[in-house]
């Protein structure tokens, strides 16, 4: 999985991480979202550092949740985590595959590719009976020299979506459940109307999973082939820009080149349209 210090896949197994977690440049990021202000009495992979999705790595004053931060903010906070230009980053969360692909996509959006998602996350790690600890690593690392370089083609925003939805060379895939996509159940966010972006198609992120892990490359290819993608560009949406990144991860594994995530997703679109 490493070639001259570079990850050769956007996803790594728990076996690989267990064998390589003590290498000098490997940085393990825990991407779970806090339910309280203090992370205690929980299980972590040893040497984990906390990636604060909702706080330090979001534009917290934005109108919508999980909004991508500025380049300067992302660079500063990554450096605070000790991340440098030669870091090998592996990110996981406590749900399996949920928040971690968002972190992977953020690093790619800010120009850093030496990052991978842990397949199956903490649940798979524990299922395999690998070591866990009850607290995060104490921040004793040196300030990193990470340098961010924003890649605008990786993200889409509200002003892009009307054109994308009408463009025959673009496909917009929604990662929400079929029930939410069809408006058969209320949106979980209070006050948000049900609906879909015009001309979007539904690919629930759960369809890509086998247990806590991604399905095989062959299975993923079969699923994506049902959308007749060919050389079209792909934009992924969901509720608020999180599970859309699971679709982006699968598309990257399948070597699709023209892929982007709609950052505000249905929360933004459903709020700003009627």
The full set of domain ranges for the chain reads 2-150, 153-272
**For 51-105, how does the pLDDT look when each residue is reduced to its tens digit (9 = 90+)?**
999 999 999 899 998 999 999 999 999 999 999 999 999 999 999 999 999 999 9
Residue-level pLDDT at 4: 85
- Predicted TM-score (pTM) of the model is 0.96
Task: Sort strands 48-50 and 88-92 into parallel, antiparallel or unpaired.
Answer: unpaired
Contacts of 197 (CB under 8 A, 6+ apart): 161, 165, 172, 174, 237, 266, 269
Q: Can you identify the CATH homologous superfamily of domain 153-272?
A: Rhodanese-like domain (3.40.250.10)
Active-site residue, selected from the candidate residues 14, 170, 238, 245: 238
Count Cβ atoms within 10 A of the Cβ of residue 271 and give its class: 0-12 exposed, 13-18 middle, 19 or more buried. middle
In the residue annotation, 170 being an active-site residue is answered as no
| Per-residue pLDDT at 35 exceeds 80 | no
Q: What are phi and psi of 181, to 5 degrees?
A: -60, -40
**For 88-103, how does the pLDDT look when each residue is reduced to its tens digit (9 = 90+)?**
999 999 999 999 999 9
Q: Measured between alpha carbons, how far is 90 from 99 in angstroms, rounded to an integer? A: 13
Query: Position of tokens 């406590």?
Result: 94
Q: Which of 58, 55, 106, 149 is nearest to 261 (CA)?
A: 106
Do 2-150 and 153-272 share a fold? yes
* Two structure tokens written together for 104: 């992977």
Task: Sort strands 48-50 and 11-12 into parallel, antiparallel or unpaired.
Answer: unpaired
Residue-level pLDDT at 2: 83
Count CB-CB contacts under 10 A for residue 59: 16
Fold entry, domain 2-150: Oxidized Rhodanese; domain 1 (3.40.250)
DSSP assignment of 48-62 equals: EEE--TTTTTS-TTS
Look at residue 44 and give its three-state secondary structure.
strand
Q: Measured between alpha carbons, how far is 89 from 23 in angstroms, rounded to an integer? A: 11
**For 210-269, how does the pLDDT look when each residue is reduced to its tens digit (9 = 90+)?**
999 999 999 999 999 999 999 999 999 999 999 999 999 999 999 999 999 999 999 999
């Amino acid at each position: 999985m490493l070639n001259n210090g570079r990850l050769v896949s956007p996803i790594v197994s728990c076996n690989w991480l267990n064998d390589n977690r003590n290498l000098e440049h490997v940085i393990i990021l825990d991407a779970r979202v806090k339910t309280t202000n203090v992370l205690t009495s929980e299980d972590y992979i040893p040497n984990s550092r906390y990636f604060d999705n909702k706080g330090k790595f979001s534009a917290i004053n934005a109108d919508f949740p999980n909004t991508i931060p500025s380049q300067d903010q992302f660079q500063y906070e990554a450096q605070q985590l000790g991340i440098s230009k030669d870091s090998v980053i592996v990110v996981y969360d406590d749900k399996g595959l949920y928040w971690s692909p968002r972190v992977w996509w953020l690093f790619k959006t800010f120009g850093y590719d030496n990052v991978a998602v842990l397949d199956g996350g903490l649940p798979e790690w524990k299922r395999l009976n690998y070591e866990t600890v009850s607290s995060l690593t104490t921040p004793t690392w040196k300030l990193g020299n990470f340098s961010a370089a924003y890649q605008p083609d990786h993200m889409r925003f509200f002003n892009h979506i009307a054109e994308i939805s009408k463009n025959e060379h673009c496909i917009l895939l929604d990662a929400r459940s079929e029930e939410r996509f069809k408006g058969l159940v209320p949106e979980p966010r209070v006050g948000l109307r049900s609906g879909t972006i015009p001309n979007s198609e539904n690919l629930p992120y759960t369809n890509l999973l086998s247990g806590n892990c991604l399905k095989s490359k062959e299975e993923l290819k079969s699923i994506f082939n049902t959308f007749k993608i060919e050389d079209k560009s792909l934009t992924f949406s969901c509720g608020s820009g999180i599970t859309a990144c699971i679709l982006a991860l699968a598309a990257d594994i399948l070597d699709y080149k023209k892929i982007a995530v709609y950052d505000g997703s249905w929360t933004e679109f459903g709020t700003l349209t009627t």
